[in-house]
Amino acid sequence: MSLSWHAALDAWLDRLLVEKGLSPNTLDAYRRDLQRLESQGEGPLGLSPQDLRRALESAQDEGLSARSRARMISGWRSFFRHLVLEGLLQNSPAEQLEGPKLPQHLPDVLTREEVESLIAAAGASSKLPLRDRALLELAYGSGLRASELVDLPLCELFLEDGLLRVIGKGRKERWVPMGEAAVLSVGPYLDEERPGLAGPDSPPKVFLNYRGGALSRVGWWKILQKLSLSAGLAGVRPHSLRHSFATHLLEGGADLRSVQEMLGHVSISTTQIYTQLDRLYLREVHRSFHPRGREMS
């Protein structure tokens, strides 16, 4: 039985789109990764593990980063598992592939004082202080991804309950507490600043730009960069606030499962990176305050 690469890829990508709701950019990346295998055989059904290893070695010789190669292997495995589930293959040639070892980078986390200085900068130097303060309080208070923050619809905001409903990666729904500070910041923005920004063609989203259009991720990044400079901070990214949200929760005693749910992580192993940060914090507390934590003078 023969199966063309075109037909096989289209069927698999359609399945990912329907079942997982992946973005067009992610699907395009998967397609490019699989197209690397086309030179190894006329179709996907006749490929061996050796063919895949040759393609992987070729990608490495071209200078493809370890992280990109790891993503590529993950896509290959998913594709061939799909063919096995469809009854087109008995075994996947990708299961025994060994991916590159990736260095584990701890996320960048702000201190509580740095978060406070950012929020103060929003009120002191911004042209839209209520909006920018609300952005910061909601990003830090609820741990939202940048796309979740800027795409948040008005109808998913429940100020009286202090909750919001988020549709995250893979179209997964979750409810996230806002926190009192976020509620007290978002409310005045909606009452006082947003009506002046909104026009007849404005989208029904919480956050608008100064023209009344939807605030983009790039727009949010630029706002954060400006506030960071005003606060005397460098390198603050939208995800820094999400990392800080998770780390500060764990430092305060929150359990890992609750943090996982609020972040919208599918696997708790993704959330466990923050326990490393928490351990570093505890070690620093011990070093600073325990009589045996410091070198004796």
In contact, 38 and 76? CB cutoff 8 Å: no
Q: Return the amino acid letter for 63.
A: G
CB-side exposure of 161: number of CA atoms within 13 Å? 9
Q: For residue 104, what are the CA distances in angstroms to 68, 71, 101, 264?
A: 15, 15, 9, 21
Does 239 qualify as catalytic in the annotation?
Answer: yes
Nearest to 69 by CA among 43, 47, 42, 97: 97
- Angle, CA of 223, 134 and 271, to the nearest 5°: 85
Tell me how far apart the alpha carbons of residues 166 and 184 are, in angstroms, rounded to a whole number.
20
Does 31 qualify as catalytic in the annotation?
Answer: no
The residue annotated as part of the active site, out of 145, 205, 243, 248, is: 145
- Angle, CA of 27, 33 and 39, to the nearest 5°: 135
Does 53 qualify as catalytic in the annotation?
Answer: no
The residue annotated as part of the active site, out of 32, 67, 239, 279, is: 239
The residue annotated as part of the active site, out of 205, 242, 243, 248, is: 242
Tell me how far apart the alpha carbons of residues 80 and 24 are, in angstroms, rounded to a whole number.
21
Does 127 qualify as catalytic in the annotation?
Answer: no
The residue annotated as part of the active site, out of 15, 77, 81, 169, is: 169
Residue 55 CB: number of other CB atoms within 10 A? 21
Does 145 qualify as catalytic in the annotation?
Answer: yes
Dihedral angle, C-alpha 234, 239, 240, 246, nearest 10 °: 180
The burial class, CB within 10 Å (0-12 / 13-18 / 19+), for 163 is: middle
Nearest to 100 by CA among 135, 70, 64, 73: 70
Helices 273-289 and 238-251: angle between axes, nearest 10 degrees: 60
Residues sharing a CB contact under 8 Å with residue 112, sequence separation 6 or more, in sequence order: 248
Does 248 qualify as catalytic in the annotation?
Answer: no
For the annotated catalytic residues, the residue numbers are 145, 169, 239, 242, 265, 274
